[in-house]
Structure 1
């Protein structure tokens, strides 16, 4: 719902560099969608994560706050939530971001009164691609039957582990074929295009 993947990648790049680790920005971007507990060891290994991971994650949080005013909702994001509600779906905004960031996103979307609920990092022990986030959203929705909407392979993997199909848009910087190869039930060019397919599988 929020166009923030590249700001996340840049914040991670600067956090790693602050701790003497220079990684190609494209490689970091390929891991955005994971939470910090998964992203850091995936990029630099368990030994470095154990030695410096917490400091890198703390640095990323501060660096991202300097970029957060640059992020914005995708076109039609709020309208998609409204459409889902009109179709009778319980809508939970699933994220493992800190509460401060979620509050900012909710304000950008003007979604506090529209969404049925949302998650934060307080709701999960392990972030994507582990299924904790999806399971937390299912619990808040009060159902085991759901559809995940995402834009990275990590969304798809986390949802699959929770037994939930994923519909994707290419807004995360991953191409259609990558998302299909990861197991997406459907792939759309934009949030606006997705809005026109809410009466098709896997939504019905």
Structure 2
């Protein structure tokens, strides 16, 4: 699958599974809450297919069909529990800091768009990249969650670039579908929570295996 022929004017990144490996903090937070509700914990690797579409859906998937009456209670418990440990184990993936540095030096506009709550998204991004990203957005009700393209199109407008000049870089089919709906280039990464096959099936324009493949400039 060849790289796009034209370099981007802007790159918008997903957060979890793309910029940072947050799986342990997410999984352990939800597992602690499941145990409070008398439900057994989930193996951490299973969370790769539970995350990516916001905390409410994560909690519904974690509960499953056996205890639907406990979904709302799990959501109530999981949000504050996770807030206390956002950065306990979460770290950027290898090579991501170098990639962000190169994109900055190439004067490419940088943004983050996550389905994580907006305040949590900002805390994580600013902890590792205090000034590098000009637009940082998590979930806010008025814009909806990915794959709703509303916020992504707003980021393009604020950058002053067209969707076709923009790459959305993410690790899940949700990111690729968001890109399709917005008319931006959807780039899949395989170092996150989903597989090459998942991203191909979703219709990614380009799939990369390491951050260095995305480097532009220098």
For 2:182, the equivalent position in structure 1 comes to 162
Say which SS state the counterpart of residue 180 (structure 1) adopts. helix
| C-alpha spacing 1:75/1:14, structure 2 compared with 1 (3 Å) | same
1:139-160 superposed Cα distances (whole Å, 9 cap, x missing partner): 4433332110111222112222
Give the superposition deviation at 1:22. Answer: 4.7
For 1:116, the equivalent position in structure 2 comes to 134
Q: What is the TM-score with the length of structure 1 in the denominator? A: 0.76
For 2:103, the equivalent position in structure 1 comes to 84
The number of equivalent residue pairs is: 195
Unaligned runs of 5+ in 2: 1-18
For 1:171, the equivalent position in structure 2 comes to 191
More relative contact order in 1 or in 2 (CA 8 Å, sep 6+)?
2
1:117-172 superposed Cα distances (whole Å, 9 cap, x missing partner): 21132375432333344334334433332110111222112222222221122122
Higher helix share: 1
For 2:20, the equivalent position in structure 1 comes to 2
- For residues 143 and 76 of structure 2, the distance between their equivalents in structure 1, rounded to whole angstroms, comes to 17
Unaligned runs of 5+ in 1: 200-204
Equivalences for residues 6-155 of structure 1 within 5 A: 6-22=24-40, 24-25=42-43, 26-41=45-60, 51-64=69-82, 65-66=84-85, 68-109=87-128, 111-122=129-140, 125-145=143-163, 146-155=166-175
Q: Alpha carbon RMSD of aligned pairs, Å?
A: 3.1
Q: What is the TM-score with the length of structure 2 in the denominator? A: 0.72
